[in-house]
Every structure is written in C-alpha cells, then in structure tokens.
Structure 1
Amino acid sequence: MTDEASKSGVTDPAQGRAAPHIGAFVLETLTLGMYGEPRHTLREYVQNSFDAIRAAQRTRFLKDRGKVTISISSEAIKILDNGLGVPADQAWKTLTSVGASKKDRQRDAGFRGIGRLAGMAYCEKLIFRTTFPGETTLTEITFDCAKLLKAMSPDEGGDVELSRLLSTAIKLKASQDAAKSEDHFFEVTLSGLANTPAYLTSASDVRDYLSETVPVAFDPSFSKKEKIEAEFKAYFGEPLETIDVFVQADGPSVQILKPYGDSYEHSGGMMNLDAVEYYSGEDNRYWGWVGRLSGSATVTDWRTRGLRIRVRNIQVDGTEIFEKLFTQVKPSYGRISSFYVGEIHIDAEKVIPNARRDGFEETKFWIDIKSSLITNICRPLSTDVYEASRQGQIDVTKVVDDIGKLVERSTSLADNPKASYDQVVDLMNTAKRLRRRASSALKTIGDIDATLVDEGKPKEQSAVVLQDAAKSVESIESQARMLVGRFLDEDERLTALKSRLRQEILQELLDVVNAFVDPSTYQKIKRQLSKAV
C-alpha cells in the first residue's frame, strides 16, 4: 500500500492508490445549501410521495386516490403516503445513496436522489419507515443528523471522509412480520425540532405553502375548475394528475387545495375573475391558463399572484421565472405578471428542472420555450396592462380638471355674500363625488406609477398629481361646512334651513313608505305627515 493509501485508509483496488477524498462539506452542499426556503423540504417529500403513488397505481397495487398526510407537532413532522414503498432487500442501498436514484427523468418528478435528505438541516434524526406489497418486513432507516451536521461545521473542516461518516451515522432496523402482505407505505419523520424555523412547524404556513406548490386539485367552488381541467386534457391527452394532501396539527386534518377562486385581493379591495384565456405552445411543449381580472392592479395574495410554471403539476420556483420573462419585453415590466393569475404547464419530457427546482437547465428546448412564452404570453399581456393604464391616465386628467374647476367655484362662493344654501350643499355633494372618483383612480394607477419610477420617469407619475388634487377636495369640503355655518348664524336663514331639512326628511320617508303600501294608503300617510311637518 502506498503512503497516500495508508494515510487515507481508503484505496482503489484496481490501482492500489488512495481513492479520491470526498469530505463532509459535499453533503452540506447537497442539503443545507440546496434549499433556501425550509418549507421546500416538505415539497421534496411530497414530490417523492407523488412518484411513489404513481408507481403504485401503474403496478395496480393502488386503485384508490393517492394520499399524503403531514402531521405536525412540537417534537416531530411526519409525512406518510400510500405509495409503493421500498422492498426490504433494496431499502438500505436506495435510502442511503446520495446523488443516485433509480427514477426515470422522463416519468418521475424527482430523479437526482438528494431530495430525501432535504430535512436533515432541521431535525436531530431523520427516520424513514417503509413496507412493500407482498412483504411482511417493516424497514426503518435512521440518519443521525446531529452527528452529520457537526461533521459539516466549519470547525470540523470537512476532514471526515463522506462515505465513512454516513456509515457511522446511519442505522438499519428490519422488523420481520411487522406488516401485512397487502400493506405498502412510506413515512418520513423529522424528529427533534429544537432548531427548526417556526414557519416549518406552523400548520397555517405549511398549508398555504403546499396549496401553492404541490400537485393537488382545484377547490370545487372555483367556477373555472372543470373548464381548465378539460382544456388541459384536450391538449396533453391525459387528465391533470393530482393527489390528496392533508395537514394535521392540533385538531382534525385539513385537505390542501389550490388557492385559486373567483375573486382576488388587491391593495384597494377585491377584483373578480372576469375570464380565463388559454395558451398553447407548439409540439405539445406547454399549455396554460391565464385569469383576467376586473381591475388593473397587483394581486396581493402571494399564494395566487402572478403566473406560475408547473411540471407534472408541481410548481417550479415561485413567480420569479415569469417576472424575468416579462423583463425581456421591457426591463421594468417584471411586476406586470402580478396583474394576473394563472399556471403554465410544461411537458416534463421537454425540460429538466435544476437541482434546487427554482428553474430549468438551459437546454435548447427550454430556451425555445422561454422565447415562445415571451412572444405569446408576456408581450400581449403587457400591452393590455398598459392600454388599461393609458385609459386610466385619461380618467385621471379628467378628475384633476374637474377638481380644478371645483376649487374655483368654492373660492367664488366663499367671496359671495349672497351665496345660497342650495349652492353650498351642491358644492359639498360635488366635492364628495370627486373625492370618491379620485380614490378609485388612485387604486388603478398606483402600480403603473411604480413602473414609471423603475423606468426613471418619476415626474410622469399620475398618482402624485392626483393626491395633490384630492387634498384640494378635502379643503373644499371643510370650507363648505364653514359656509353652512354662515346660515346658522342668521335667524331668518336658519328658519328656512330647518324647513328645508324637514321637507327633505319627509320626502325620504315617503319614498320608503311608497314601496310598501297601496296608492290610497300612501296618500293618507302623506297628508298626515305633511300636517305634522
């Protein structure tokens, strides 16, 4: 044995030389460095469950719906599925392999063999339990994550050889006759959560995240559900694949559904889903739906805002991919994606999601698909938003002009000692209407103004002009109230004012009564009330 071999203790039998040293830091790159958002861990496990469920359905071991249950407590997070499971004689090799997988990229959602270790950074022990159809053995494999994380710390320097480290940190337990032959499942347990981020153990945060990312069905109340599913099947030739996902924590389990509905929040209130349009690429490369909303404003619910890309009905990244595509139309157009809701499904055989699943490998297919998405979706949608903006600018100009005229009218009334009560009341009512119009216009143009700032055109912002004009309206209303006070100081006019108010109240009351009684009764009531007034 050479000196190098004796130092490392690991040899290449074929050459008699020391084998290349692979340190623990490699494992850090594949786990801690791979998933920036802790909840991506759950997406990886649900994705693996999805593949296992589809495998069970293909082999006819599962005739029912695929089901995944995520149980959350202060001590552990468990992800249990009714997928195919792993045979006992293959469990050790399958579950301890790093960066290796038997999955087929053309058929399965995951294929790199690193997702199963995603939870390592957030628990003390990572436990896999499984059984396979036709077997009665229950296999349990436990990763000592505390030990692995210590070896990956900078203080340790990564000197420990990775294969040796893993062999000392993983334990196998096979329990004979612990399962029924017809059983099949796979369960992941993240045990010991002392250092786990709060939003990974928050049931509401987890439910929101999963509703956005994993392959679940639309809410049955979503009016466009059936049409979208039918259009998907017509294009791809097969139905949209979904599984049932439940989250259980401190109470009954809650089923996760996609968060799309018939109305959406924006900064000024709610917008309705007016229509859904469908987009398809050539050669079955992609298909998608885009929801057009009743207002031209940014959707504020992060679970639904913006266009999303999905492969095998699993979301890739968030809204960032489409935001970047919109900037190819114009650098400042990234925010336009959030004026819409929708999903673009890409054929899994045409693209390869990268290891982090926040984008795709830059293959020729993906480059061509991006070009098509920019031309067929981003460009026309951008044009529509800016056409709405142009119309909004016209409306703003009209509102500002009307407010200017009202200011002149208010000044004239204030200087006129013969101004009448009717003129003052009309001034107040007009000011109120203009204030509402100004508020409505501000909701429309706020997002467009933000884009103008991005383009280096802050002086063109309509919101600034409109806000100044709206302040003038508030001043007019205050002045009108002061003018009303002029009448209250004069007995003669006060008497007339009281009489007018009584008549206005009487008429409003009679209008209400008229809707509920016959004409003869109405006239009797009117006469009696008139005498009283």
Structure 2
Amino acid sequence: MAKKTKIGKDVIDSLALSMYEDARFVFREYIQNSADQIDIAVVKGLFKSKKDGLINIHINKPKKQILIADNATGIESSKVESVLKNVAQSSKRLGVNKGFRGIGRLGGIGYCKELVFETTFKGEKTKTILKWDADLLSTIINDRSKNEEAVEVIDKVTTAYTEKEKASEHYFKVYLIGVKSNELLNVQNVREYLSMVAPVPYESHFILSDKIYEKCKEWRIDLDEYQIIVNDDQIFKAYTSTVYEPDRDGKKRVDEIKDLKFFEIYSSNKKSKLALGWYGISNFEKQIPSINLARGMRLRKDNIQIGDSGTLIKLFKEPRGNYYFFGEVLAVDQNLIPNARRDYFRENETLKAFEQELRYLLHNELHQLYYYASQVRSATKKIEKLAVFKKDFEEKAKNTGFTNDKEKEKLELEYEKHRTNAEKAEKELDKLSNKITNPHDPKNRIFKNITAEKKKVADLIKSKPASGKTKYATDELSRLSLKDRKLVSKIFGVIDKVLTPDLSANLKEKIKEEFK
C-alpha cells in the first residue's frame, strides 16, 4: 500500500512568504482579486459597469495598519473558509481571470502581525471574519524541531467567526495589522508603484491618451480600468507628454512626446493576435531620465503590469534602447499566462512566437527611430553651430572688436570650417529626408520636429559678414597712445590664451572701461 503523500509547512513559506522581492506586490495581488470580483459583479448585474466598482486603500502609518477594500460581490458565508483558507486552489479560469492560483490572498501575511479578511454577500445578514495569526505562523515555520503538515499549520493559525451586517451590504476587506514593512506604509511610494502596476486609467493631463482610447475602440478591446483610491486620492497611470530631467529646482523639460505610434503583434502565420500596443514619438534627445516614472516599454496583461520598466530590455538591439521610449505592450492572447511572480509569462509556444515578433519590432523599428533622430539632430546642430558662430563673429566685427589680426584670421578660418560642415550637414539632411517614403512614417514627424527652426545654409552664406575696415578691441581706448594700444592688444592676446572665452571677454571689458 502506497504511503500517503504529505505537504510540509515550508510550502506556505515558499508560496506566501518568500515568493516576491518587492513588498508592494501585496497591493497588486489584492487589487487583482478585487478587479476580478468587480468583473463578476458586472456579469451578475450587481453593477452596470466597472465604473461602479471601487477599490479603496487606506494606509495608517502611525497605527501600522493597512485596509484594502472593494464593494464587489464579497464571498458567501458558507464559502469563506474554503476560499480563504485553501492554498493554491482557485475556481478562477486560467487565461481568463486576472488571478487564478489561489495564493495571492496570502501575500500580506509575511509583512504584518495579523492578516484579517472581512466579507459579506448581498442578501446575507452576517459578515464573516477570518483571521490569520501571522506571528504564530512565522514561529511555527521557523521551529525546525517539528515537521507539521501545511494543513495542520493553517488550521492552527486561522480563526473564523461571524457578526451581524445589513443584508444590502456587499464587500471584501483585507486588513494588515501590525505592518512590519516601512515600504508598505509609505503612501507616496505606494501611489507611484500602483500608477504603473495597477489597472487604472490614464491621467487626464496626458493629452495623447484620447488617441489610445480611440484606438482601443477600433481594436475592440476593453482596457480593464478600475477606480482605485489610496488615502482619498485616485490613482492614474503616470504617463505624461513631457520628458523631464533633474535640475537644481527639481526638474526641467528636455523633450516632448508629440505623437503615438500603434502596433499589432500577430503569430508568424498571422492567424492569432498576440498583443497590441503603442509608443511615444519624441525628438529622442536622450535616454529618458529615471525621474520620469513611466519610462520604458511596459508589458501588461489585463492592464496589470508584468515585471517592471526593464522587463523587455532583453528584446531590444541594445539595452539603452528601452529607455528612449514611453510605451505599452498589451498582451491579449489567452495563452500568454503570467507566471506565479508576475514578472514574466509562462514558457510555452505562444510566448516563443510573441517574443520573436516583439523582438523584431523593438530590435528594428524602435532602434531605427532613435538612431535616425540622432542622425537628424547631429546634422541640424552643425547648421546651428554655423548660425551661432556667424552671430558671434558679426558681434566682434561690428561692436566688441578683434583682439588683433591674428585672432581675426583664426576666426575667419573657423568660420570657413563651420560653413563647410554645415553644407555637408544639409546634404546629409536631404538624404535623411529622402528616406521617408510614407507620410505616416514616425520618421517624418521626427524630421519635422527637429528641423523645424533650422536655417538653410544658403541663407547663412548669403549674409556672410562683409569685409571692410576691421574693428579692434583697442579702438575705443582714446586716452591711450598708439604705442600703448598695441601693448594692451598684446595683453588681450595673452588673456585670450589663458582664460575661458567668458572670463576673457569680461576681463577685457573691465580693462577697456578703465582707459576709455
């Protein structure tokens, strides 16, 4: 007779206490469960739409307590213990529901002293409370002198009872009492995390979001957006149309998302739609700095983020490519199934096909875009340098004057060098422009954005500084003799050699003021 299989207590540690690196996953898991129940409430007619559902999170840092509550279906009293005590046993459908493993509800148990579930089902006059003694659970698991089975341990650390409730009420609440993680009690930190991970709407000031909603209607997909409140503030996705970088006053604008490009990813035989998505079109001035919370191409399933900002780096031609973009890849095929940690998908044939097609997009199309932008920007800057140098040259020729003939000759040679470079750059821009054969090609927008204020080299050459009487910096020193002016001119030459242009100009101006 075969021996009875036993499941030891350490399985609880593996599934509930040690699976995740980021403590904030707790919120994702409970939100995921609440979202599923809101969907069910819509199907059952309890809600007209998902907009009637509410997921409310309250973090009380002084009391070290967190409440995560939803107003969805709740759980029938007769089913509470079987649903909330059983581990890795779920009635949810794989590839259909957002949660399906039956382990996420225990996520908070490793970060508090006591985990409490409180729920009621519409029509019932009682609410059921199920308490998990997290401290006792930890003590039992860490006691290596005993080898209890998992079921025995769960029965020891849980207590269930009922209290009166209004028959009209329906909700599910999770209390984390005696929270041990400061990360979970940091309200701003949690808001930022959920703004990229949770299935929430785009912020209204992200003006390009209307294009995403319009495209989703065309694609006939539901974005799965839910109303999530954290300490009285609704959470929205953190996308913006402005790209910032840090400065002394906090941050400054360095680029702008001018448009969005949408894409569809199909299996190699084109029979199955695997994913949809979008990415932002900017001037791609530089990699988007980390101060921009939403940077990177994000992978999502059921509008819940899979992994983090760097999950898709491996599919780019070069790692830095990921951080030139804001964007989302929305997995839609049911066989793209999040793994237990939700940091990627399960390995299967659909995932292989998905990676192959997505790699082509990221490795080729997106790489070419920021590389193309770099080429356009480089050529444009050479023309801009000519314009700036010409302006400075004219200022010397007409107002401040040259230090001496040597400086004038040097600057005239530099001017010719800039002019030659600018002419070559304009030819390069013509080549880059000719590469655009489709007006809807993102390169077209990039080219126009970067070159919008570029002056033509021909116009710059036409207004080349006229030759005439040369003005010198010492011409205004009327109090000095010609001999003394020549001496000052030599001194100015030394100053030009040893000081930076700004300091040199400032010092020479001070000397001129003394002898005018």
The question of 1:191 aligning with 2:180 is answered no
Q: Does the CA-based 8 Å contact 1:25-1:158 persist in structure 2?
A: no
Output the aligned Cα RMSD. 3.1
Indicate if the aligned counterparts of 1:137 and 1:174 stay in contact, CA closer than 8 A. yes
Structure 1 distance, partners of 2:292, 2:25, is 16
1:456-482 per-position Cα deviation (integer Å, ceiling 9, x unaligned): xxxxxxxxxxxxxxx999711211222
- Select 2:305's aligned residue among 301, 315, 324: 315
| Number of residue-to-residue matches in the alignment | 412
Residue from 97, 119, 140 that aligns with 1:130: 119
Question: What secondary structure is seen at the aligned counterpart in 2 of 1:349?
Answer: coil
What's the CA shift string for 1:54-84, capped at 9, x where partnerless? 1111111223521000011133100000111
* 1:88–1:138 CA contact under 8 A, matched in 2: yes
Aligned position for 1:486: 511
* Mapped partners of 1:348, 1:38: distance in 2: 29
Give the match for residue 156 of structure 1. Answer: 144
The share of aligned pairs that are identical, in percent, is 27
The residue identity in structure 2 corresponding to 1:163 is: V
1:16-165 matched pairs, under 5 angstroms: 18-63=3-48, 65-74=52-61, 75=63, 76-153=65-142, 156=144, 159-165=147-153
Confirm or deny that 1:266 pairs with 2:245. Answer: yes
Q: Secondary structure at the match of 1:321?
A: coil
Instruction: Look up the match of 1:216.
Output: 200
- Residue 182 (structure 1) aligned with residue 165 (structure 2): no
TM-score norm. by structure 2 comes to: 0.73
Q: Distance in 2 between matches of 1:319 and 1:221?
A: 22
Distance in 2 of aligned mates of 1:284 and 1:216: 24
Structure 2: 5+ residue runs without aligned partners? Answer: 267-271, 416-495
Aligned to 1:528: none
Q: How does 1:331-342 map to 2 (within 5 A)?
A: 333-342=318-327
User: Measured at CA, do residues 302 and 361 of structure 1 come closer, stay the same or move farther in structure 2, by a change above 3 Å?
Assistant: farther
> Structure 1 stretches of 5 or more lacking a match?
1-14, 431-470, 495-533
In the alignment, the residues of structure 2 paired with residue 242 and residue 403 of structure 1 have an alpha-carbon distance, to the nearest angstrom, of 50
Contact 1:233–1:240, Cα closer than 8 Å, also in 2:
no
| Preserved CA contact (<8 Å) 1:209 1:303 | no
Q: Kindly indicate whether the alpha-carbon contact (under 8 Å) linking 1:72 and 1:78 is maintained by their aligned counterparts in 2.
A: yes
Quote how far apart the aligned CAs of 1:199 are: 2.3
Aligned residue for 1:285, secondary structure, equals: strand
* Selected match of 1:306 from 296, 301, 312: 296
Alpha-carbon distance, 1:403 to partner? 10
2:304 equivalent to 1:279: no
TM-score normalised by length of structure 1: 0.71
1:103-502 counterparts in 2 under 5 A?
103-153=92-142, 156=144, 159-175=147-163, 178-193=164-179, 195-196=180-181, 198-235=182-219, 237-248=220-231, 253-266=232-245, 269-270=252-253, 271-282=255-266, 283-300=272-289, 301-326=291-316, 329=317, 333-394=318-379, 416=404, 475-490=500-515, 494=516
The whole-number CA distance in structure 2 between the counterparts of 1:42 and 1:365 is 29
Cα distance change of structure 1 residues 119 and 489 upon mapping to structure 2, 3 Å threshold: same
Q: 1:261 is paired with a residue of what secondary structure?
A: coil
Quote how far apart the aligned CAs of 1:382 are: 0.5
Q: Which moved more, 1:203-212 or 1:156-165?
A: 156-165
Query: Structure 1 segments of 4 or more deviating over 4 A?
Result: 392-407, 471-474
Describe the shift of the 1:484–1:36 C-alpha distance in structure 2 as closer, same or farther (beyond 3 A): same
Deviations 1:483-524 (A, max 9, x none): 22331232xxx2xxxxxxxxxxxxxxxxxxxxxxxxxxxxxx
How far off is 1:417 after superposition? 9.4
Paired AA for residue 356 in structure 2? S
